[in-house]
């Protein structure tokens, strides 16, 4: 049997409260991938759920292979590609669940189809970014859960950027529920308190006294969706912006000189405004000698020909400038001043999701990436959001995105050092800027927040790993609520027939700092009981909607599982 590691603050479950040892010996999990999510997922399975864990990596000596191999109780298999030979070496026929978490939608789907051929009863958990591909994968593969790491993590970045004043929506079927600070949700709509956030130190999750909680869950007002605010480009402002400050100044000086000269000529020669203007403009543009005695129609023709001739000289330059302007507009760059927006740096999987989520909330966004081929670039253009192509560690790039007037900066690239460099540069431009930083290493993130006054940091793999682990056990984590660097999991769990909790009161599942029953779907039509009475006894037709810490979820999985004997 694989040895179970214990961690500070994580209870060790024994007997009826934990994972049955015989069951743990029979369960084998295989995780395929060489990235932060694979590392977090393997660690999550080894720490919380036990069983035998095999990680398939390209190399145990490079990438994340050494860190995965160093985890106690984890076996590592090297395979350059996920083919039939690799799966046969992994003894896929005896595996309970397989997770395919590479950042390659096509490769993951191909490996899943091959695995299904080798083991028709295998549970497969598939990481896919493309929603259409995911829907097709579910239909083809049967017992398969398709998850998006970026889809799970993106709401946490959005919530952190918008701050406490803006509640976020829980992704649960049924009436919309909001997560937010108590003062942002009407008292009569609060369902339960979920966390006490202190200014210093770690937040207290699921406190015994729910009324102490700052962070709460409540029902949303049924006012219908608010229309998304579209960013409009006003033609006159757009033209003024594109002309450029220096050229605008020169044109203003020229117009002023013409007006002054016209007035002087009128007074000096005692002539009318039109003759004075005619002589001034013709002289200024270098045309033929003025002919004051000519008819007005002839004078107009002379003026027109003079101005047109002058305009034709720089026609080539004008064409070049026009091409540059069109290219700039096609790239989606800022063409007018903007403020109160959110700047999203890094348009990979996570950045693309964050960009779309902010847009759907009606928040103006400026997107930044150094690679014009990044996944989120077409998303920015589709949504008609400003796009800056450039290196965000350079000041001119952030200035082009108007970081100095934005409400928040979200940095989502996969390079921790570059992310920190971008964040610090943003602080120099706007010292009080709200920054949400993507960082993998938890200890590093805490030091960064403490020493550099970074508003908050998020780890995508840390947010997503619990959902992938629960899916491998056949359970669904429907959402993740970030609280500082910790997370609360929102899961739906059926009350299994003959499970330890069947017939027991709800109160036995409400454990401070561990778990809380948010609601119960009774199986009677669409009936859902929110904040159910603690004395209500659970029956096998109940579907529990629970809030839990990572350790709390592993306990809930054990006590709600059906008795298979």
Distance, CA of 372 to CA of 376 (rounded, Å): 9
**Global pTM value:** 0.69
* Structural domain harbouring 289: 236-304
> Residue 391 — φ and ψ, nearest 5°?
-80, 115
Same domain, 368 and 247: no
Alpha-carbon torsion angle 470, 476, 478, 483, nearest 10: -30
* Same-domain status, 124 and 2: yes
Q: What is the pLDDT of residue 164?
A: 58
- Whole-number CA gyration radius for the chain: 32
Predicted pLDDT of residue 452: 80
Q: What is the pLDDT of residue 162?
A: 84
Pairing of strands 144-147, 123-127: parallel
Place of tokens 């203003």: 252
Whether 130 and 99 map to the same domain: the answer is: yes
Domain harbouring 92, CATH code: 3.40.50.720
**Measured at the alpha carbon of residue 275, what is the angle toward residues 273 and 277, in degrees to the nearest 5?**
65
Report which secondary-structure segment, H or E, holds 316.
Answer: helix 315-331
Give the rounded distance of the alpha carbon of 387 from its chain centre: 17
Q: How many residues does the chain have?
A: 565
**Does 80 lie in the same domain as 166?**
no
Count the domains in the chain.
4
Q: What is the pLDDT of residue 562?
A: 76
Residue 103 lies in a domain: yes
pLDDT of residue 21: 36
Residues 143 and 179 in one domain: no
User: Cβ of 259: how many Cβ atoms within 10 Å?
Assistant: 12
Q: What is the pLDDT of residue 273?
A: 83
DSSP letters, 133-201, are HHHHHHHHHSSEEEE-HHHHHHHHHHHHHH-TTS-EE---SSS-EEEEEGGGS-GGGEEEEEEE--SSS
Q: Would you give per-residue pLDDT tens digits along the chain (565 residues)?
A: 333 333 333 333 333 334 443 344 457 899 999 999 999 999 988 887 777 899 999 999 999 999 999 998 899 999 989 999 999 999 998 898 999 999 899 999 999 999 999 999 999 999 998 888 888 888 888 889 899 999 888 888 988 888 755 677 777 777 788 888 888 888 888 888 999 987 666 788 999 888 899 889 988 765 444 444 445 555 555 555 555 566 666 667 767 766 776 776 677 767 788 777 766 666 666 655 666 666 666 556 556 656 655 655 565 566 556 555 555 555 556 666 789 999 999 999 999 999 999 998 889 999 999 999 999 999 999 998 999 999 999 999 999 999 999 999 999 998 888 999 999 999 999 999 999 999 887 677 777 877 887 878 888 888 888 889 888 887 778 888 888 767 888 988 999 899 999 999 999 999 999 999 999 998 887 788 988 999 999 999 999 999 998 889 889 988 988 776 5
Assess contact for 371 and 394: CB atoms under 8 A: no
Which is it for strands 387-389 and 97-100: parallel, antiparallel or unpaired?
A: unpaired
Domain endpoint, select from 107, 130, 147? 147
Q: Is 77 exposed, middle or buried (CB count within 10 Å of its CB: 0-12, 13-18, 19+)? A: middle
562 is a domain residue: no
d(CA 51, CA 29): 7
Classify residue 249: in a domain, yes or no.
Answer: yes
In a domain, 495, yes or no: no
Residues 136 and 165 reside in one and the same domain:
no
């Amino acid at each position: 049997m694989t040895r179970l590691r214990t961690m500070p603050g994580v209870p060790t479950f024994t007997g009826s409260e934990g994972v049955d040892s015989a069951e743990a010996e029979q369960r084998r999990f295989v995780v395929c991938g060489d990235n932060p999510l694979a590392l977090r997922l393997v660690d999550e399975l080894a720490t919380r759920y036990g069983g035998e864990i095999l990680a398939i990596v390209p190399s145990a000596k490079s990438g994340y292979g050494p860190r995965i191999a160093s985890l106690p109780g984890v076996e590592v298999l090297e395979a350059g590609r996920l083919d039939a030979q690799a799966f046969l070496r992994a003894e896929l026929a005896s595996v309970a669940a397989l997770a395919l978490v590479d950042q390659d939608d096509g490769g993951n789907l191909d490996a899943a189809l091959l695995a299904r051929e080798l083991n028709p009863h295998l549970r497969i958990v598939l990481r896919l970014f493309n929603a259409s591909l995911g829907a097709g994968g579910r239909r083809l593969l049967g017992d398969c859960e398709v998850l998006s790491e970026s889809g799970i993590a993106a709401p946490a970045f959005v919530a952190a950027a918008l701050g406490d004043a803006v509640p976020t929506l829980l992704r649960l079927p049924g009436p919309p529920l909001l997560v937010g600070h108590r003062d942002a949700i009407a008292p009569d709509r609060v369902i339960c308190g979920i966390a006490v956030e202190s200014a210093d130190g770690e937040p207290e999750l699921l406190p015994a006294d729910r009324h102490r909680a700052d962070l709460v869950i409540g029902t949303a007002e049924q006012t219908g969706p608010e229309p998304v605010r579209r960013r409009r480009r006003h033609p006159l402002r757009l033209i003024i912006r594109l002309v450029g400050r220096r050229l605008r100044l020169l044109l203003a000086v020229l117009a002023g000189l013409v007006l002054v000269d016209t007035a002087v000529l009128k007074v000096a020669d005692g002539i009318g405004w039109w003759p004075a203007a005619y002589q001034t403009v013709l002289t200024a543009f270098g045309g033929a000698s003025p002919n004051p005695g000519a008819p007005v129609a002839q004078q107009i023709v002379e003026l027109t020909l003079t101005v047109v001739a002058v305009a034709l000289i720089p026609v080539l330059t004008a064409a070049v400038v026009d091409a540059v302007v069109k290219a700039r507009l096609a790239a989606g760059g800022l063409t007018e001043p903007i403020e109160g927006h959110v700047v999203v740096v890094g348009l990979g999987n996570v950045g693309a999701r964050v960009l779309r989520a902010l847009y759907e909330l009606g928040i103006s966004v400026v997107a930044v990436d150094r690679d014009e081929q990044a996944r989120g670039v077409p998303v920015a253009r589709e949504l008609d959001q400003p796009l800056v192509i450039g290196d965000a560690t350079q000041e001119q790039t952030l200035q082009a995105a108007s970081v100095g007037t934005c409400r928040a900066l979200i940095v989502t690239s996969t390079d921790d050092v570059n992310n920190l460099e971008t964040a610090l540069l943003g602080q120099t431009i706007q010292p009080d800027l709200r920054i949400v930083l993507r960082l993998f290493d938890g200890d590093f993130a805490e030091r960064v927040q403490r020493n550099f006054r970074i508003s908050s940091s998020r780890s995508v793999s840390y947010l997503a790993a619990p959902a992938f682990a629960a899916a491998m056990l056949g359970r669904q984590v429907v959402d993740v609520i970030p609280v500082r660097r910790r997370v609360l999991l929102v899961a739906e769990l059926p009350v299994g027939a003959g499970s330890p909790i069947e017939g027991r009161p709800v109160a036995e599942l409400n454990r401070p700092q561990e778990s809380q029953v948010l609601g119960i779907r009774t199986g009677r039509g669409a009936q859902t009981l929110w904040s159910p009475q603690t004395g209500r006894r659970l029956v096998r037709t109940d579907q529990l909607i629970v809030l839990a810490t990572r350790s709390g979820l592993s306990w809930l999985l054990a006590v709600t599982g059906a008795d298979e004997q």
